[in-house]
């Protein structure tokens, strides 16, 4: 059975992303050459466990691994908490994992983020493998080594940069993914086009609806393209020291604010928030004279055509959004950092945005 491979050459580590159908059933054999110890602990959530945990554990055992009883967490963004982080850590320490042992994240972005964070701080760092099962995790959060949990003050404010040993992307897991989750992941795919790939935007114009309908070829192409795009950015700027990796936050300054206002209660998925944020970033760029109206209109029509959310499903005010954005981890000396655009495929980091203009823009959209 064939699969494609994308290499991530980060400054701290180099590893491969494997992309293909049926990789879960081959996971044990694929990990034998990557992990130095057969002692591993799988972390997953209740929904993923129903679909994939039994077969995945069997594949590990068949290849000679000795997995401990898995850590099964509740599904949803609220799991990215100090309490659940401690739960993973205590389980791992109770299993007597050592520095050659590994945690394996089987699930979406929430599971990947919190499991990676736990692995980075248990015994000052044990091995870590990403096995993402959602489209969003496959194209974004499983790649690049960002780990985190949320705080009442905001999203992903507590975490580390910690690269996995490898990433196994089984595209077959997307068959059980709800349409809402597919659209959530699609927003992150669209982000790569808007950053610096107008030709990919044109491909999405032709193939986006097919992708969202579950077409295997379209999904595989988009996943591989997204992983290559992110790998190139991570190679250039692993820890956001050059204003290169920050481009991946296009749409996120607005989006994270909406997520925090909503209390991470499931009404607004991360990708949905990013989709809203992408539109706002382009609209604001147009209002300050940066982005052509035609490009903003093209993005809006694409969001309409693909059915992505364009406004939060709950009431927000400009003051609420501003307060959350000032607490974002990208803010510097109390000043907000934005990723703005001069057009589709022409995004850039802006550290000198006039707060009064942001306030006026948000009040025109949300009031207060």
The pLDDT tens digits of the residues spanning 282-337 come to 999 999 999 999 999 999 999 999 999 999 999 999 999 999 998 776 666 667 88
Catalytic-residue membership of 191: no
State the pLDDT at residue 333.
Answer: 65
Number of Cβ within a 10 Å radius of residue 24? 22
Catalytic-residue membership of 188: yes
186 contact partners, CB below 8 Å, separation of at least 6: 135, 208, 211, 212, 271, 275, 306, 308
State the pLDDT at residue 1.
Answer: 61
State the pLDDT at residue 205.
Answer: 98
CATH class label, 179-366:
mainly alpha
User: Which listed residue (39, 80, 127, 146) is catalytic?
Assistant: 146
User: Which listed residue (249, 302, 329, 330) is catalytic?
Assistant: 249
Catalytic-residue membership of 259: no
Domain limits, CATH 1.20.1090.10, in the chain: 179-366
CATH class label, 4-176:
alpha beta
The pLDDT tens digits of the residues spanning 350-363 come to 988 999 999 999 99
pLDDT in tens, the chain (368 residues): 678 999 999 999 999 999 999 999 999 999 998 999 999 999 999 999 999 999 999 999 999 999 999 999 999 999 999 999 999 999 999 999 999 999 999 999 999 999 999 999 999 999 999 999 999 999 999 999 999 999 888 889 999 999 999 999 999 999 999 999 999 999 999 999 999 999 999 999 999 999 999 999 999 999 999 999 999 999 999 988 888 999 999 999 999 999 999 998 899 999 999 999 999 999 999 999 999 999 999 999 999 999 999 999 999 999 999 999 987 766 666 678 899 999 999 999 998 899 999 999 999 999 87
219 contact partners, CB below 8 Å, separation of at least 6: 135, 171, 174, 211
Catalytic-residue membership of 302: no
User: Which listed residue (270, 286, 302, 329) is catalytic?
Assistant: 270
Which among 275, 92, 135 has a CA at the least distance from the CA of 283? 275
Catalytic-residue membership of 270: yes
Catalytic-residue membership of 205: no
Sign of torsion, CA 131 205 278 183?
Answer: negative
Catalytic-residue membership of 245: yes
User: Which listed residue (80, 91, 155, 245) is catalytic?
Assistant: 245
Domain limits, CATH 3.40.50.1970, in the chain: 4-176
Give, in degrees to the nearest 5, the angle at Cα 87 between 28 and 181: 65
State the pLDDT at residue 329.
Answer: 67
Catalytic-residue membership of 7: no
User: Which listed residue (38, 39, 155, 256) is catalytic?
Assistant: 256
Catalytic-residue membership of 230: yes
Catalytic-residue membership of 58: no
């Amino acid at each position: 059975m064939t699969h494609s491979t994308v290499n991530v050459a980060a400054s701290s580590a180099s590893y491969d992303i494997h992309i293909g159908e049926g990789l879960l059933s081959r996971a044990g054999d694929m990990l034998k050459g990557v992990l130095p110890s057969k002692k591993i602990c799988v972390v997953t959530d209740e929904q993923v466990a129903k679909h994939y945990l039994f077969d995945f554990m069997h594949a590990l055992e068949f290849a000679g691994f000795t997995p401990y009883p898995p850590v099964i967490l509740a599904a949803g963004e609220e799991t990215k908490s100090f309490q659940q982080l401690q739960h993973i850590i205590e389980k791992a320490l109770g299993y007597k994992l050592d520095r050659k042992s590994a945690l394996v994240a089987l699930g979406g972005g929430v599971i990947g983020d919190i499991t990676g964070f736990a692995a980075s701080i248990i015994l000052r760092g044990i091995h870590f493998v990403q096995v993402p099962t959602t489209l969003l995790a496959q194209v974004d959060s499983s790649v690049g080594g960002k780990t985190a949990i949320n705080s009442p003050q905001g999203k992903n404010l507590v975490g580390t940069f910690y690269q996995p040993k490898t990433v196994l992307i089984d595209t077959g897991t997307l068959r059980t993914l709800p349409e809402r989750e597919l659209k959530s992941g699609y927003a992150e795919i669209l982000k790569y086009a808007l950053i610096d790939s107008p030709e990919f935007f044109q491909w999405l114009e032709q193939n986006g609806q097919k992708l969202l309908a579950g077409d295997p070829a379209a999904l595989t192409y988009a996943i591989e393209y997204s992983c290559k795009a992110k790998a190139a950015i991570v190679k250039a700027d692993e820890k956001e020291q050059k204003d290169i990796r920050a481009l991946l936050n296009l749409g996120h300054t607005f989006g994270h604010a909406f997520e925090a206002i909503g209390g991470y209660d499931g009404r607004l998925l991360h990708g949905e928030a990013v989709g809203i944020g992408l539109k706002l970033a382009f609209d604001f760029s147009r209002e300050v004279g940066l982005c052509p109206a035609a490009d903003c209109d093209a993005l809006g029509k694409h969001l309409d055509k693909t059915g992505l959310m364009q406004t939060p499903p709950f009431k927000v005010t400009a003051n609420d959004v501003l307060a959350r954005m000032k607490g974002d981890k990208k803010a510097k000396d109390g000043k907000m950092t934005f990723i703005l655009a001069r057009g589709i495929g022409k995004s850039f980091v802006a550290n000198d945005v006039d707060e009064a203009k942001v306030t006026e823009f948000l009040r025109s959209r949300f009031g207060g």
